[in-house]
A and B are shown apart, each in its own frame.
Chain A
Amino acid sequence: MDTAVIDLRGRASWRTVKNTIMTVVMVSGFVVIAIPLVAILWSVIARGAHSAFSQFPAFFTKEIPHISRLPGPGMGPAIVGTLLVTGGATALAVPLGILGAVYLHEYGHESRFAHLVRFMSVVMTGVPSIVMGLFVYVVWTMRFGYSAFGGSIAMACLMLPVVIGSTEQMLRLVPPNLREASYALGATKSRTIVTVVVPAALPGIVSGALLAVARAAGETAPLLFTIGAATQFNPHLFEGANNALSAQIFVNATSSFAGAQDRAWGAALTLVLLTFLITMIARVFTARFGLKR
């Protein structure tokens, strides 16, 4: 066990100077990281707004040009694809994640199995997204071909442990006497969970799930192997090649043509706005309806 040792025997003036130096170091650390982050956001906003909004709303409604070196708008299919893939992933991962967390907190408690699942789900959050993509390629895409749903499965695998983790934290905040009151009325355990425990924790669960969705919506690597690269609208979740904003940014970023690069910046702005919007909604949920810790 480390013991705290503070040496206060130095000259008072030197000690104050040292304190000031370290304060300056901490502030400059903040400045050092703020510069590139501001530069990135500035590039995305400035170049993206020019590309996405100069011919509003064509950028959002037109198809992606077949020949990528052509200038001009069109990201519509990628926007639809991102919404489809993310929506599908949410529909898969959120209910399963909530159920898993319910098991851990309401059934498993301190059992060895519950501890193992908790530990492995933390480990699973560290699995690289590209590995998830290839995994889904091997078990799904190789059999059923490209579709938005393949991307949804890969993304859902990434979201699942995040949703489990955040949901379990919220279930912990539900006071035990709510459960006991429900049992006293004769409700079964499942009924208590569905009608009392989960609703009590719902705002927090929704907020955690939305943060997971925001993170997942920008994922690129899992989509490279699973959804294909369609340039036309494809509103079907289960059929046919699709596209996504993130995948399209990746493809266009390596292009040497100004037109493709412009579209990449526009797509980047759209994607950043989408993820920020979802994050903001999550914040509102926590702030408005959150349980007090």
Chain B
Amino acid sequence: MIDQPKPLLGSSRDLVDRAFGWLAFGAAALVLLILGMIAMTMTSRASSVFSKMGLDFFTTKRWAPPENIFGGLSFIWGTLYTSLIAIVLAVPISLAVALFITQVAPRRLKMPLVYVLDLLAVVPSVVFGLWGVLAFASPIQGVYTKIHHLVRGIPVLQSIFGDTPQGRCFMTAGIILAIMITPIITSLAREVIETTPQNEKEAAYALGATRWEMIRGSIIPHSKGGIVGTVMLGLGRAMGETIAAALVIGASIGQLSLDVFSPGNSMPAVIANEWGEADDLHKSGLIAMAVVLFMITILVNVIASTIVRRSMARSRGKRT
């Protein structure tokens, strides 16, 4: 592309032109400004909590706002645990669906399926939460009880799928998050899979490979990096998801349990659930929690987008 040659004489026309350039620059710089301001303003608002608690904020689980004690460990644990459940459930399904849409589904079915999945990705998370708390949590409790009876007596499983299952618990939150992020991971994974060059797929078929062998031999090696990045983007989404988790996670305080059927809490959920009744100090504690959440999700997203970008660049390089 050729840039416009620099005008020889300064004029009002030139001035307008330059002002527009600066305006556009400002809009682009706004992204960096907002991210910087989030880190700065929120950290300073929560500084009293950070300076008082220090590392205890991350390593202790006693959360007692009236006594000015803020141990966030149980919420950090809840966030990681529910996101892990969500990822374990969502990733195999998303990959199966992405492969189904790109490789198996008849051409006529493909576009409508993509269309429907994209539509589901815009369903607001509060709607998933509403369904989870009013329509899903109580019937699923019976299923949880059955699972617990099935594994009773088996050492580790017995404590993971513990007794007295609750309808609102880590597991329910994980399931709802999985349902929410599946359309998102599917549509990103589909894009990655579709970058596989046609000739690599044809090469596999020419060797006499079945469709599955073609997927194993051509598509998976090609899209591995991109899919890992995609999964991490899904993880970031699951960790930051507030409303659905807040409604179905059970909102118990200080729960550091491996039991997936026990009620717990996550960082975004505790903020949403406690904000209404919080006094000034308590709010600082919740904002401190948001700062930690911000840092963790930024980290996950930086890693994820670096991986996606590298693998995309590599596959583009390979094609030319």
Contacts and interface: CB of A to CB of B under 8 A. Distances in A.
A41 B183 CA distance: 14
Contacts of B150: none
A96 interface: yes
Given A23-B212, A30-B100, A183 B126 contact: no
A268 B130 contact: yes
Interface of A: 2-8, 15-16, 18-19, 22-23, 25-30, 32-33, 36-37, 39-41, 43-44, 96-97, 99-100, 102-104, 106-108, 113-114, 116-117, 119-132, 134-135, 138-139, 157, 160-161, 164, 176, 179-180, 183, 188-194, 211, 214-215, 217-221, 224-225, 246, 249-250, 253-254, 261, 264-265, 268, 271-272, 275-276, 279, 283
Contacts of A157: 34
If over half of B's interface residues share one DSSP class (helix, strand or loop), that class is named, otherwise mixed; here it is helix
Contacts of A40: 123, 127-128, 131, 179
A134 B241 CA distance: 14
B182 A135 contact: no
Interface residues of B, number: 106
A192 B4 contact: yes
| From B200, B210, B217, residue with most partner A Cβ within 10 Å | B210
B166 to A, nearest CB: 16
Given A6-B217, A176-B1, A190-B16, A43 B135 contact: yes
Interface string B166-198: 000000000000010011001000000000000
Interface string B289-320: 01001100110111011000100000000000
Given A3-B221, A37-B120, A188-B13, A130 B210 contact: no
Interface of B: 1-5, 7, 13-14, 16-17, 19-21, 23-32, 34-35, 37-38, 41-42, 45, 92-97, 99-101, 103-104, 115, 118-120, 122-131, 133-135, 179, 182-183, 186, 200, 204, 207-218, 221-222, 224, 233, 236-237, 239-243, 246-247, 268, 271-272, 275, 286-287, 290, 293-294, 297-298, 300-302, 304-305, 309
B4 A189 contact: yes
Contacts of A188: 4, 7, 13-14, 16-17
A218 B126 contact: yes
Contacts of B128: 40
Given A28-B96, A107-B25, A128 B240 contact: yes
Contacts of B127: 40, 44, 218, 249, 268, 271-272
B4 A183 contact: yes
B1 to A, nearest CB: 4
Contacts of B309: 119
A254 B247 contact: yes
B129 A250 contact: yes
Contact of B41 (A135, A219, A220): A135
B275 A126 contact: no
Contact of A120 (B32, B37, B93): B32
Contacts of A8: 207-209, 213
B93 A121 contact: no
A128 B209 contact: no
Q: Considering the complex of A and B, which 5 residue pairs feature the smallest CB-CB distances, nearest first?
A: A218-B124, A29-B96, A128-B240, A6-B217, A126-B301
